[in-house]
Structure 1
Amino acid sequence: MGTTLDEIMPRDSFVLPDYASPGLTTLMPTMVDIVRGRTEAAEEFLRTSLAEVDQVVVLALDGLGFFQLEPRLGLLTNLGRGVLRRGYSVAPTTTATALTSLTTGATPAEHGVLGYRVRLGGHAILNTLRWSSSTQEVGPPLPMDFQPVPPFCGETPVVVTKYLFAKTGFTQVHLRGGRLRYWHTMSSIVSKVLAALTDGERLVFAYYDGIDTVAHEFGLGAAYERELVMVDDLVGMLLDVLPNRTALVVTADHGQVEVPSPPVKLDTDVTALVKLLSGEGRFRWLHCHHGATERVAEIASGYYGEVARVMTRDEVLDLGIFGGIPTDGALARVGDVALVPTAPVSFYDPDDTGALQLLSRHGGLTAAEMIIPILTFVR
């Protein structure tokens, strides 16, 4: 008998997502059931009575893992008022993949957004968050062609998201069909949500990215806790203005792991057999030269086996990591060998760098990254 969701420990280093259990792939369909009047399954999912709920607000807090939140609830007056349970993120635990599963209710295998940086054609890389290609020769695909699953289970909710994301292709990938309202400051999230509820909207989806941003830059220490306090104030303001018979559900796309050391540079024995890198530092894909997959997996296991699971693509699929078998077109987006850290490390890609050394990261399958909170409040 396998480990249940509630038995997973914070230091578990390799946790496979269960796509049928509470988590990103089941939350939005449950919320839609509520607004359509089908509350029995929703009550079982959330372990709270929702029979008297007319309106639902889902607040997605980017980067807030269950095991980062739970020990700090004593500091958080408003978040501490909710009914807390665990949920699963998806694989990889990266924003593009996870948010798409949250809004569509689909597994990564079904929606095809299999990572942050994925292959396009032969040697181009698509940055799925920026919706930009690494080469001018191959442009970004149409969002609806890349990700065919309709978000929000066919509903057209009001969506409150950051104005900077207004024109990105990724917004079309995971939020199309939603009626977008943009926020410029944290407090304006409250104003936008309240206006939608006052207009009688049954389902409102809101997104805030600050926790993830702070964790990347400063780690999971004092700055992270200051950001949590600010988010706690946001939740308190939302709770103050919610109409009666309204549920607020607070969740996240993934958790975080502190990675204090610079990314691990791949040894030349590996890179000599690899033509392309994709993915992210904590779920790094190696695209091998023809016929070299098994050899690359063998060499990489020798070098990195103590800090990562080294798996061929077939092994990844056999484990059901994506929640099924992606289409051939989606599978072409990932590599031949995956390096998935089980320790607080990341793997370097010279084309996947930014202005900051990221002090916290995500993408892997540790419990800290995989297990997310689901907090429910009913007014």
Structure 2
Amino acid sequence: MSMPEDGLHPDALRILPPAYGSGSLADLLPSVCAVLGVPGAVDVLGLGARLDGIDRIGVLLVDGLGAYQLPLAAPHAPVLADLAAGGRGHAGTLTAGFPSTTPVSLVTLGTGVPPGAHGILGFTVRRPDGQVLTHIYWGDDPDPRLWQPVPTWMETASAAGVRVTVVSRPAFEGSGLSLAANRGGAYHGAGDGPAVAAGMLAALREAPGPALVYGYHPDLDHFGHEDGVGSETWRRAARGVDRLLDEVVHNLPPGAALLVVADHGQLNIPDGGRYDMADIPALRDGVVAVAGEPRARYLYAADGALDSVLANWRGVFGADARVMTRDEAISEGWYGPVPPAHADRIGDVVVICQGRAVAVASGWEPDKAGRLVAYHGSVTAAEMTVPLLIVR
């Protein structure tokens, strides 16, 4: 497999716990809504001092733009580089929640609560009926309002008189994930980066009063997965992000601000870091179901097999993964508080890959999942640290 250089410093592979309640994605929209005067919203991040006099706020989420990817993108994205250097405002960071994956992060952002509370606890999870739910291909079963019961800040802001708009791909309108993360906003379909820029600017300009505009752009993440962070297609996607930013930053209407964030970072995984259940019998023994994703794997053990599954996976992975029970993962606080109704969505065994390793589950999930170049989902700083860039 061709492996581009992703430019990560060894520090990027250190473990970084989520900063729930002080500096995570869960704290962003409550802080934004506090600036917009939404009752009950608390400005945890202290945005009020930077956004004094602002009554229209755009939040652009660039999928896959981790803070550790900014130096690699900078030569191809001068506007982004300027923002990251603080040249136009504030440049800081937040943490994702765990797992550091798109559906978890989007709902964490939208609801303003940690994953344990909102219940979107992985890229895939096992439902009570034994089927595996893939959150990015989720329709109306299970009902998104029941599976994810926490009101979104878009609902709360809209009820308080804030004009709320969601600018995202047309195909995502009405999906289970969109309803779980973004319900409450008027949906504006935007098929590419220029359309996202145009949709966000139009919503910011047309708002008669306080406004919250959320935009989503997925291309960087897509090409990181397909071809690797640092590949030519990834660099081309970084240039596309920069064109989007250039348009929005230089055309913000008076009284408006733009906040740029991401859902996670990424890192490239070499062939030698790929442990495949199909190739290693010990990894299959006692396992009856598999969910999660390669960097944050969930295993469901046969009756009486939990201890042997733990021992087998610890023996195979060694220092390349932390292998723990569901109760251990919850007690360590990775998800924030987890109510009993959501706990079973986490595997009996949680495998948190470390360094540059993945737990591939050929035969349990689509083959493509084991053939990606870049991955995310675990708790390294490279995956967990996302930018918070503010320009007004």
Same-fold call, TM cutoff 0.5: yes
Question: Cα distance 1:37–1:53, how it changes in 2: closer, same or farther (>3 A)?
Answer: farther
Query: Which is further off, 247-256 or 308-317?
Result: 308-317
- 1:327 to partner: Cα distance: 2.2
| 1:264 alignment partner, one of 272, 275, 283 | 275
How far the C-alpha of 1:207 sits from its partner, in A, is 0.5
Match of 1:375 in 2: 389
Identical counterparts, % of pairs: 30
Query: Secondary structure in 1 aligned to 2:275?
Result: coil
Of stretches 327-336 and 86-95 in structure 1, the one that deviates more from structure 2 is 327-336
2-side partners of 1:278 and 1:45: how far apart? Answer: 37
Q: 2:116 aligns with which of 109, 126, 130?
A: 109
1:174 and 2:178 matched? no
For 1:129-278, list aligned pairs within 5 A.
Answer: 129-131=136-138, 140-152=141-153, 154-156=156-158, 157-200=164-207, 202-221=211-230, 222-261=232-271, 263-266=274-277, 267-278=280-291
Q: Which runs of 5+ in 1 are unaligned?
A: 1-7, 133-138
The farther-off stretch of 174-183 and 196-205 is 196-205
With over 3 angstroms needed to count, the CA separation of the structure-2 counterparts of 1:42 and 1:79, relative to structure 1, is farther
**1:328 Cα deviation after fit:** 2.0
For the residues of structure 1 that align with 2:287 and 2:192, how far apart are their CA atoms?
Answer: 44
Residue 265 of structure 2 aligns to a residue whose secondary structure is coil
1:162, 1:182 within 8 Å by CA — same for their partners in 2? yes
Deviation at 1:48, TM superposition (A): 5.8
Q: Give the aligned partner of residue 330 of structure 1.
A: 342
Tell me which residue corresponds to 2:86: none
Matched residues in 2 for 1:311 and 1:220: separation?
29
CA drift at 1:46: 4.6
Residue-by-residue CA offset, 1:231-275 (whole Å, 9 max, x unaligned): 111101001221112110000001101113284113323322111
Shift of 1:95: 0.6
SS of 1:57's partner is: strand
Structure 2 CA distance for partners of 1:44 and 1:152, relative to 1, 3 Å = closer
When residues 275 and 58 of structure 1 are mapped into structure 2, their CA distance, relative to the original with a 3 A threshold, is same
Alignment map for 1:351-362 (pairs within 5 Å): 351-355=364-368, 357-362=371-376
2:322 pairs with 1:315 = no
Question: CA RMSD for the aligned pairs?
Answer: 2.2
Structure 2: give runs of 5+ residues left out of the alignment: 1-8, 84-89, 159-163
Hey, what's the Cα distance between the residues in 2 that align with 1:167 and 1:302?
Answer: 44
Tell me which moved more, 210-219 or 152-161. Answer: 152-161
SS at match of 2:203: helix
Relative to the length of structure 1, the TM-score reads 0.90
Tell me the distance in 2 between the aligned counterparts of 1:178 and 1:44.
Answer: 23
After superposition, where does 1:270-289 map in structure 2 within 5 Å? 270-289=283-302
Aligned residue for 1:118, secondary structure, equals strand
Question: Residue 303 in 1 paired to residue 316 in 2?
Answer: yes
Q: 1:320 to 1:160 in 2, by over 3 A?
A: same
TM-score (norm 2): 0.87
User: CA separation in 2, counterparts of 1:208 and 1:276?
Assistant: 33
Question: Which residue number in structure 2 is paired with residue 363 of structure 1?
Answer: 377
Q: Deviations over 1:34-57 (max 9, x none)?
A: 11179x975953596211212100
Provide the rounded CA distance (Å) in 2 between the counterparts of 1:176 and 1:50: 25
Deviates more, 1:65-74 or 1:274-283: 65-74
Q: CA deviation at 1:314?
A: 1.4
The 1:37/1:335 distance shift into structure 2, 3 A limit, reads: closer
Deviations 1:67-108 (A, max 9, x none): 111454354321233321111000000111111001111100
Once the two structures are TM-superposed, the CA of residue 298 in structure 1 deviates from its matched residue by: 1.7
User: Moved runs in structure 1, 4+ residues, more than 6 A?
Assistant: none
Deviations 1:167-216 (A, max 9, x none): 32111111111111110232111221122122215111111111110101
Q: Which amino acid counterpart does residue 298 of structure 2 have in structure 1?
A: W
Distance 2:339 2:181 in 1: 18
Number of residue pairs the alignment of both structures matches: 363
